[in-house]
Structure 1
Amino acid sequence: MTAASAITATFATTQAHAGGKNLAISGGVYRPLYLSKDSPKVTVKPFKMDELPVTNKEFVAFLQKNPNFARGKIAPIFADTGYLKHWQKTANGFAPKTADLNKPVTNVSWYAANQYCKSQGKRLPTVEQWEFVARASATRKDGSAEPNYNQKILDWYSRSSGSDYRLSDVGQTPANYWGVKDMHGLIWEWNENFNNTLVSGESRADSQLNQSMFCGSGSAGAPDPSDYAAFMRYAFRSSLNAKYTVGSLGFRCVS
């Protein structure tokens, strides 16, 4: 079966189960890494997060209704030249390989990810929502103090940065406390406010803030200077532009 025929045959199922279950997150409070140990905690109100990242198959279904976001048609202002570069050329445009249908879609810009979530009646998670859920282990809302918790994440970050990194299907990692899967161990993920966590809008005024955040001496003021996994996430987000595409960067939605 070709990628195109497989997608057509599963279109209805894809629409009904996009993102897997939409799981309830009761919310809570936590102190973000980029604030000092004495800063007020952030309140995360109850919301729902998709169990799984968006797959190639689901993104194709989105493009069938939003062809202006297809590879070769999306405006250059909304995506760089790497947009969906892993999809193969077909008679009708571009499509993922059949073997990749259930893998997370990557090489998508923030603009495309944002539009996809809107089309589902949802939106991208904020950094605060994503980090709140990402703190959970399999049994605790905050598993960051568990032995080897951060090291496991760091081990994956080192693998995912290599040129030989290969994606797996979604849903293969164990669910965390909330029932959410693949928060770690599969891809990086876009957030709604990815580029305003460390900056206030004036790059010259923020230069010292960025330096103190990522220099070793300055990180001593962070709530947990040993949480290198979180530091890497904040550093990665700060390097992004909304039109960028990365082979290990995808997304999921919340409501």
Structure 2
Amino acid sequence: MQKINILLGLILLSACAGNSGKKKNDLTEKDTLNKMVLIPAGSFFMGADDSTGMADEYPKHKVDVASFWMDEHEVTNEEFARFVESTGYVTTAEQPISKAELLASLPPGSPEPDSSVLASMMAPGALVFTPPDHKVPFNDISQWWSFVPGTSWKHPEGPSSNINNRGKEPVTQVSWLDARAFAKWAGKRLPTEAEWEYAARGGLSGQLYPWGNEALTSGHPKANTWNGNFPYHNTQTDGYTGLAPVKSYLPNGYQLYDMSGNVWEWCDDWYDANYYIQGEKGVQNPAGPATAFDPDDPGQAKRVIRGGSFMCSDEYCRGYRVSARMKSTPESGLSNLGFRCVRSAGQK
């Protein structure tokens, strides 16, 4: 299904083994490379804190959240490798799709692509960030995204790339389906969108970022984002051009790292642009809408992603704000998309 996302222009955004005395999927905090942090129960106002948010971030509304445990950082390459080694799991990007499946996904009346195009679309692979060396219009994402056959979590920038010496970087090129499979194996789950935003705020109220209201460019680097002119010139003011190892920046008030920037993170919820208007009110631990709706692409169901990435900047994408929402199809794999897991407090 990876290739379907390219064909329809759907992309709208710019592991753990137990010890010998336990079953491999019977994990506790001590068994994982990723320490879990207890997030206390509480209430907060979910949604944009000023007038700079997108339409789907309004209205701001009160949400009650029960206590839960959250990974202190994004799942890393070395953690995901342990999951794959333990289970033999094959990610979405590593799987080809059939001709019938591809053709069924085309808009009604679309002509069948010629054989060479069809073959490339059916090959395993994923979307790779391929920045140009010059200024380009922001309304044409094909200027910096390319489908590259042979791309996977082990080869995140294409078949000639690898993750050697990159074990502490967040795993990328994993779909929502892959993230959910890892979480289940680890005895965890993906966070709800409400849990994610509550945790990202780190106990602060009415603040734009995990660290408060101080501008991203003020003082010491606060997150891994795009510095300079997107997508063709990165000044590396924050120390990195692409991915940064987890925990490269200071944590928020809950001692969670990289809740802003580095990679977008999958949430469990379906994405509905109107959910804040029509959604549950006065319900503890809202689990999101029952169905998905994206007005920019109504034919495809999307899952929520949060937190922004190394590709976000003030001039193009301000996804590093705690209230910022984005979405992608559950089968998507991207150079700037990963995840972290949670566990309900009663499970710990």
TM superposition score category, shorter chain reference:
0.5 to 0.7
Residue 215 (structure 1) aligns with? none
Q: Does 1:179 align with 2:255?
A: yes
Give the C-alpha shift of residue 100 in structure 1.
1.0
| Residues 1:151 and 1:168: Cα distance change in structure 2 (over 3 Å) | closer
Q: Does 1:112 align with 2:178?
A: yes
Residue 60 (structure 1) aligns with? 81
Distance between the aligned counterparts of 1:180 and 1:229, measured in 2?
14
* Deviation per residue, 1:37-75 (Å, 9 max, x gap): 5x4x11111101011111111111111123242477546
| RCO higher in structure (CA 8 A, sep ≥6) | 1
Q: Does 1:36 align with 2:99?
A: no
Give the C-alpha shift of residue 176 in structure 1.
1.3
Larger radius of gyration: 2
Distance between the aligned counterparts of 1:155 and 1:121, measured in 2?
29
Residue 243 (structure 2) aligns with? 167
* Deviation per residue, 1:146-176 (Å, 9 max, x gap): 4425677998554597477411111111121
Structure 2 stretches lacking a partner, 5+ long: 1-14, 20-26, 48-56, 102-123, 128-150, 235-240, 276-288, 299-317, 344-348
Q: Alignment length, in residue pairs?
A: 216
Residue 90 (structure 2) aligns with? 69
- 2:264 pairs, out of 188, 194, 209, with 188
| Residues 1:101 and 1:122: Cα distance change in structure 2 (over 3 Å) | same
* Residue pair 2:75, 2:339 contacting (<8 A) in 1 also: yes
* Residue pair 1:143, 1:149 contacting (<8 A) in 2 also: no
* Residue pair 1:126, 1:192 contacting (<8 A) in 2 also: yes
Give the C-alpha shift of residue 12 in structure 1.
6.7
Q: Does 1:18 align with 2:32?
A: yes
**What percent identity do the matched residue pairs reach?**
24
Q: Does 1:46 align with 2:67?
A: yes
The worse-fitting range, judged by mean Cα deviation, of 114-123 and 190-199 is 190-199
- How do 1:61-210 and structure 2 match up within 5 A? 61-70=82-91, 74=95, 76=97, 81-82=125-126, 85=152, 87-88=154-155, 96-136=162-202, 140-142=203-205, 144=207, 146-148=212-214, 157-159=225-227, 162=231, 165-196=241-272, 198=274, 201=291, 203=293, 207=295
Residue 242 (structure 1) aligns with? 330
Is the strand fraction higher in 1 or 2?
Answer: 2
Is the helix fraction higher in 1 or 2?
Answer: 1
Give the C-alpha shift of residue 97 in structure 1.
2.6
* AA at the equivalent of 1:148: E
Give the C-alpha shift of residue 27 in structure 1.
2.3
* Residue pair 2:73, 2:246 contacting (<8 A) in 1 also: yes
Give the C-alpha shift of residue 188 in structure 1.
1.1
TM-score with structure 2 length normalisation? 0.51
Partner-residue secondary structure (3-state), 1:185 = coil
